[in-house]
Structure 1
């Protein structure tokens, strides 16, 4: 709204403005000068006119935009209608029935092929039809072939239940041996697309192929059954015969005219000849009861004997469809062979018992002879040492009186020979004592420094004569052992190191290893080859063939090995050719300043094994070595189960149904799996079992293989100390 009409001419507009100005002036003049209200009203009127003009322009622009939007909406509506017509034309050309339902389960559109087979009941296929109404109408169609016992209401309920799934696909059988495949898929906005496809041709081809395969399989099954050596009979869920071969009639002596489709199990059981005798706990009644339950209680197995001495093995097994299968095998020859084998075993056991008694007598005689030998050696050694000592004193006295250098050299050689003889007799006496069963030890706490200090003073003289450096590291540890024999062990190790070291030094020290103290003797001698490291503990064995009797008699390490075995102190050796050797003896640690304990007897067998209850698996293909190992280990109180090869070991563990505490496996087991492969097979089936590999192979390849598997090696000839230590480590409780 404006105070001036734009359609008036300029003179008329000026006239109106003059009148307006005069009226305003008069009004201003009639009002007080302080208020200024008239001017304010004029000012507001002018501002209002300006705002009205702005709003009018904005309204005009809005109307223009509205006209433009209406034009685009009309164009979009035309395009949507065209697209709808194109979509309707497209789905109309489909060979499948197509329908689209919106998220509210209302029909949006469909083509002419949709529900074409159900036109007798589905008549109002128009937009807005509810999905549930569509399903109920289809369920009442005459073309729908309902399964037996299913009503249209049941079919509709099941159809609506499946409709709740996001993706649905199933086949619907129609009358006239026709099939319709129905699939549903959800759209992005929650609607549903239903597609109906005629799959009659596909279903008929599939059925023909299945029938052909069934006929082929039936022929193959029949040919297989006829060529089996066992008799086979197949019964269905009602206990009726549905399949068999001719062998079943021959074995059970049932006439072929009674073996026919549909024959009952009980009727066939009654046809068995009277000379059939059920053995064991299964009789005719139990067998019939098992068949009535269709094998639901599990498989059944028993034997039947005939008066003709024929033995039949009968096995029954239930099937998933409720039927069961019977197989009958003639095992007459196997049972006769087993009986002959049992008779042979009985005779063999009798012969083995006789040989065992003979061996026990021979062993007792050998033990008596050995005891007599030990007593003789002990007595003879004691009687010989006294005159030898007197002879040495006389030679020493005579040497002081002679002035001729040649005579004195001759006496020196004689004294050296007597010293060697004395050392030999003392060594033989020590070995005799160590092999005696009546030997007892004075086991008590010992301060190692009390043993090491005197030995250092004694051996420094011998080392200095050869130009060697001898270092004995002091130790404050206390150990439990026999002081006499432990001192002899350390003395032999140090003297052996000094004797065979040409230059360099000898180092003696003690390392603490948990509850044990390991006494180590290092030297810079020639070293010992790995192949000889077990042999050096044998009596009279010296690796240096050029050495004289004065350089040693080869009994020092033998005494060390025997004494440590009796004391229960493990002996170790680490050596490298050209670099030197290190001999180690592990002794239990005692409390510092502990009081001496009571003496006790140490048995020949390694300590801790007799009461451990170990069961060891031994796999060795050499019968003599296997027999020797069994005798040795069982003498230590360990139970042994033995096998000749890898397959025999696995079968033995399966038959016994046990996992051994440890395993001793030969690497070379002949054809088949080697020892490392057998260990891996045992680990895969029964878990990790402590295992040692027995081998004469000293190659780097086998050493790396054993190290990768974490397996120790026992090199042939087997060191009994290392073997005993392995078994003791196995028997020891985990820390």
Structure 2
């Protein structure tokens, strides 16, 4: 360990003296001792080096001393400046007209001006630096110059003041003695201290109070004027139920002399007037009113009515005011009550008239329903009666097809056949409209293969489109939908037929596309389009847009049937059209979960006689002579033996007599009296087993179709289609 001969704590002068003394001692020892081995020279050399170090250290000490002196000078200057700034700050805050105080982050008073704690001379001398904020609050709360609010003592005021001190910014007014007021504004500084400003706002508050008094006086005059001009009578009572305000209308309504109303009068004055002249209504008594006035607070609003005989009715509303008083308003509702009685009497009269008119309307509705039912029955009956001769006419015309007639006659027969087909279409449409309007149309919804219907319609309409030079495109679709196959086919048939009828050139596109869980079938044409104003009208019966008035063109029932059938099935129908660019009809159907093929195509009629077996016997049961002759004529032309009878009983008797079982049975459903066609087929099956048979009928009845389906009997609707008839009588069934 190295030991220093110089104590660093010594002053530079003391260190210098020690070094000189050391040098002197060393020199003396060098002079006194003999230097045999040269040690004296070494000691001398060491002393010289030590003297150099002493000189260097002395210079460093002198520089440090100079630096310390300069630092002390600057510190003294800074202290003087700080003291000057403090004096300037004190002078500045002393010139502030408000009381000013600064507390540090520890809530100790740093400084304040002479106006701080104004008007509290009893605590002014104790407001010195270092005073804690809580101590300051305690001094203020116990000052004799502080006017404590009602219901507060010094301790509770101090607690509230400290609670406000917890906020970063707060401003409030403090009332002092002699009706003086000081506004206290308290704010936090960045270092966590607190600045407090105290402003004397006595003059401002007194002025506001004066202005408020004037305003209240003005408001009182306005309220008085308002009360005197309103239609209600108003009485205002204080917390002791003494009258403090009223209007002239109150005396008029209560018929109380003006002298009875005086300031400070008891509520008894009003209750006596009420008891002497009025009778409370709605179960209310005068004692109940008095009990409400004298009852515990807060009091709920009270409403009741007062009556004078059967003429005058007053509505009374009593409500409590914030100061514990209450207001009673009286409204004359005599006119309203009379109006209500008049309205009640008018309502009774009106109800009697409405009941009478309702009965008349019900009777008229019954007659209308009867007339509508009669119309429906008439349409059905007329259509049935028309279908019988129409079927016979079609069969007679069909029998002339291969009669070797002249070309002119053949053309005439073709026109006659087309006319009969048009009439048949019109009758079918009338029957459909009749059933859809009457609500008798029943549907059998189930899985329907879309492709089977579209393929049949493509085969049906392709020749018609080709005749007009149109291109009919029907895209295949393997999906199935939930619908009624008959009505769905009829809807698409009418839409495609309309498209071909109104399109002069271009094409018709029929296809289906998926739409989530649904399938949209669209019929698109390049026809003239439908103006927007006419798009709602095209679904009306007998409405035809830009078409010739010709029966062969239809009677405008197709789209009416489409709309009603789609509504019956719950299939949304949409129309979009642009004049000059074509029309798009879209029907949306729910997709079926499974694919169940239905039905089958009827065999075509051959031209080479291969399906015309000679000797085949057909039993025809038809009670209409013309229909029977037409069918016999056509069947015999196909080289079939025909047994024709007019009733079921006659058919059974004849079969027993001849002992021959025919190969085919054609049986009319409506045979007049006796058994009908369905029952006759049942008897034939009981006798001879499953005989090939068809039921002929012009009736389009869901009940009949269901009964035939249940019995396994197929129907040939009248007018009978020659191709379908040939498929049965000439086929291999």
TM-score (norm 2): 0.70
2:230 corresponding residue in structure 1: 228
Between structure 1 and structure 2, the one with the greater Rg is 2
Please give the alpha-carbon distance, in whole angstroms, between the structure 2 residues aligned to 1:128 and 1:14: 62
1:555 corresponding residue in structure 2: 557
Counting only pairs closer than 5 Å after superposition, residues 6-85 of structure 1 correspond to structure 2 as: 23=35, 25-26=37-38, 55-85=57-87
1:380 corresponding residue in structure 2: 382
Please give the alpha-carbon distance, in whole angstroms, between the structure 1 residues aligned to 2:170 and 2:16: 76
CA deviation profile, 1:706-734 (whole Å, cap 9, x unmatched): xxxxxxxxxxxxxxxxxxxxxxxxxxxxx
> Against the structure 1 CA distance between its residues 124 and 443, is the aligned structure 2 distance closer, same or farther, given a 3 Å change threshold?
closer
> Against the structure 1 CA distance between its residues 552 and 207, is the aligned structure 2 distance closer, same or farther, given a 3 Å change threshold?
same
Match of 1:362 among 361, 364, 372: 364
CA deviation profile, 1:266-294 (whole Å, cap 9, x unmatched): 65334313452333354445444544567
SS of the residue 1:519 aligns to: strand
In the alignment, is the contact (CA less than 8 A) between 1:253 and 1:273 conserved in 2?
Answer: no
Please give the alpha-carbon distance, in whole angstroms, between the structure 2 residues aligned to 1:458 and 1:145: 109
Greater mean deviation of Cα atoms: 109-118 or 555-564: 109-118
2:567 corresponding residue in structure 1: 565
Please give the alpha-carbon distance, in whole angstroms, between the structure 2 residues aligned to 1:595 and 1:19: 145
> Against the structure 1 CA distance between its residues 136 and 24, is the aligned structure 2 distance closer, same or farther, given a 3 Å change threshold?
farther
The answer to whether structure 1 residue 497 and structure 2 residue 499 are counterparts is yes
The answer to whether structure 1 residue 340 and structure 2 residue 317 are counterparts is no
Q: How many residues align?
A: 583
Following superposition, the deviation at residue 225 of structure 1 comes to 0.9
1:450 corresponding residue in structure 2: 452
> Against the structure 1 CA distance between its residues 519 and 281, is the aligned structure 2 distance closer, same or farther, given a 3 Å change threshold?
farther
> Against the structure 1 CA distance between its residues 351 and 225, is the aligned structure 2 distance closer, same or farther, given a 3 Å change threshold?
same
Please give the alpha-carbon distance, in whole angstroms, between the structure 2 residues aligned to 1:205 and 1:137: 30
Following superposition, the deviation at residue 193 of structure 1 comes to 3.8
The answer to whether structure 1 residue 325 and structure 2 residue 327 are counterparts is yes
Please give the alpha-carbon distance, in whole angstroms, between the structure 1 residues aligned to 2:572 and 2:159: 83
Match of 2:479 among 477, 480, 487: 477
1:459 corresponding residue in structure 2: 461
Please give the alpha-carbon distance, in whole angstroms, between the structure 2 residues aligned to 1:584 and 1:223: 74
Following superposition, the deviation at residue 178 of structure 1 comes to 3.0
Greater mean deviation of Cα atoms: 264-273 or 418-427: 264-273
Please give the alpha-carbon distance, in whole angstroms, between the structure 2 residues aligned to 1:587 and 1:185: 76
1:209 corresponding residue in structure 2: 211
2:201 corresponding residue in structure 1: 199
1:710 corresponding residue in structure 2: none
Following superposition, the deviation at residue 568 of structure 1 comes to 2.7
Please give the alpha-carbon distance, in whole angstroms, between the structure 2 residues aligned to 1:554 and 1:126: 110
Please give the alpha-carbon distance, in whole angstroms, between the structure 2 residues aligned to 1:562 and 1:108: 96
Please give the alpha-carbon distance, in whole angstroms, between the structure 2 residues aligned to 1:104 and 1:377: 107
In the alignment, is the contact (CA less than 8 A) between 2:26 and 2:47 conserved in 1?
Answer: no
CA deviation profile, 1:124-177 (whole Å, cap 9, x unmatched): 454445555555445555544444565555555554554444444333334333
In the alignment, is the contact (CA less than 8 A) between 1:122 and 1:137 conserved in 2?
Answer: no
Counting only pairs closer than 5 Å after superposition, residues 716-731 of structure 1 correspond to structure 2 as: none
In the alignment, is the contact (CA less than 8 A) between 1:312 and 1:331 conserved in 2?
Answer: yes
CA deviation profile, 1:400-442 (whole Å, cap 9, x unmatched): 5576555554444443333322222222122223233443333
Please give the alpha-carbon distance, in whole angstroms, between the structure 2 residues aligned to 1:244 and 1:298: 22
SS of the residue 1:271 aligns to: helix
Following superposition, the deviation at residue 206 of structure 1 comes to 1.4
> Against the structure 1 CA distance between its residues 354 and 168, is the aligned structure 2 distance closer, same or farther, given a 3 Å change threshold?
closer
In the alignment, is the contact (CA less than 8 A) between 2:526 and 2:583 conserved in 1?
Answer: yes
Following superposition, the deviation at residue 349 of structure 1 comes to 1.3
> Against the structure 1 CA distance between its residues 52 and 185, is the aligned structure 2 distance closer, same or farther, given a 3 Å change threshold?
farther
1:429 corresponding residue in structure 2: 431
In the alignment, is the contact (CA less than 8 A) between 2:449 and 2:597 conserved in 1?
Answer: no
In the alignment, is the contact (CA less than 8 A) between 2:305 and 2:315 conserved in 1?
Answer: yes
Counting only pairs closer than 5 Å after superposition, residues 533-552 of structure 1 correspond to structure 2 as: 533-546=535-548, 548-552=550-554
> Against the structure 1 CA distance between its residues 520 and 23, is the aligned structure 2 distance closer, same or farther, given a 3 Å change threshold?
farther
2:643 corresponding residue in structure 1: none
Please give the alpha-carbon distance, in whole angstroms, between the structure 2 residues aligned to 1:73 and 1:4: 29
In the alignment, is the contact (CA less than 8 A) between 1:122 and 1:138 conserved in 2?
Answer: no
2:583 corresponding residue in structure 1: 581
Please give the alpha-carbon distance, in whole angstroms, between the structure 2 residues aligned to 1:211 and 1:193: 35
> Against the structure 1 CA distance between its residues 423 and 102, is the aligned structure 2 distance closer, same or farther, given a 3 Å change threshold?
closer
2:654 corresponding residue in structure 1: none
Please give the alpha-carbon distance, in whole angstroms, between the structure 1 residues aligned to 2:19 and 2:451: 136
CA deviation profile, 1:77-129 (whole Å, cap 9, x unmatched): 22222233333333444433444444455544444444453334544454445
1:622 corresponding residue in structure 2: none
1:301 corresponding residue in structure 2: 303
TM-score (norm 1): 0.70
2:595 corresponding residue in structure 1: 593
SS of the residue 2:274 aligns to: coil
Please give the alpha-carbon distance, in whole angstroms, between the structure 2 residues aligned to 1:325 and 1:64: 93
> Against the structure 1 CA distance between its residues 339 and 6, is the aligned structure 2 distance closer, same or farther, given a 3 Å change threshold?
closer
CA deviation profile, 1:447-485 (whole Å, cap 9, x unmatched): 222222211111111111112121222222222332222
Following superposition, the deviation at residue 43 of structure 1 comes to 11
Aligned-pair Cα RMSD in Å: 3.8
In the alignment, is the contact (CA less than 8 A) between 2:284 and 2:304 conserved in 1?
Answer: yes
Please give the alpha-carbon distance, in whole angstroms, between the structure 1 residues aligned to 2:575 and 2:432: 22
Following superposition, the deviation at residue 535 of structure 1 comes to 1.2
Please give the alpha-carbon distance, in whole angstroms, between the structure 2 residues aligned to 1:5 and 1:176: 79
> Against the structure 1 CA distance between its residues 185 and 434, is the aligned structure 2 distance closer, same or farther, given a 3 Å change threshold?
closer
1:521 corresponding residue in structure 2: 523
2:391 corresponding residue in structure 1: 389
SS of the residue 1:506 aligns to: strand
CA deviation profile, 1:627-659 (whole Å, cap 9, x unmatched): xxxxxxxxxxxxxxxxxxxxxxxxxxxxxxxxx
SS of the residue 2:542 aligns to: coil
In the alignment, is the contact (CA less than 8 A) between 2:184 and 2:199 conserved in 1?
Answer: yes
> Against the structure 1 CA distance between its residues 140 and 387, is the aligned structure 2 distance closer, same or farther, given a 3 Å change threshold?
closer
In the alignment, is the contact (CA less than 8 A) between 2:275 and 2:286 conserved in 1?
Answer: no
SS of the residue 2:178 aligns to: coil
Counting only pairs closer than 5 Å after superposition, residues 127-206 of structure 1 correspond to structure 2 as: 127-148=129-150, 150-152=152-154, 155-206=157-208
Please give the alpha-carbon distance, in whole angstroms, between the structure 2 residues aligned to 1:443 and 1:135: 92
1:488 corresponding residue in structure 2: 490
Please give the alpha-carbon distance, in whole angstroms, between the structure 1 residues aligned to 2:246 and 2:405: 116
2:699 corresponding residue in structure 1: none
Following superposition, the deviation at residue 211 of structure 1 comes to 0.7
In the alignment, is the contact (CA less than 8 A) between 2:137 and 2:158 conserved in 1?
Answer: yes
Greater mean deviation of Cα atoms: 72-81 or 91-100: 91-100
In the alignment, is the contact (CA less than 8 A) between 2:238 and 2:324 conserved in 1?
Answer: yes
The answer to whether structure 1 residue 242 and structure 2 residue 244 are counterparts is yes
Please give the alpha-carbon distance, in whole angstroms, between the structure 2 residues aligned to 1:415 and 1:126: 129
Structure 1 residue runs of 5 or longer lacking an equivalent are: 29-37, 597-735
SS of the residue 2:355 aligns to: helix
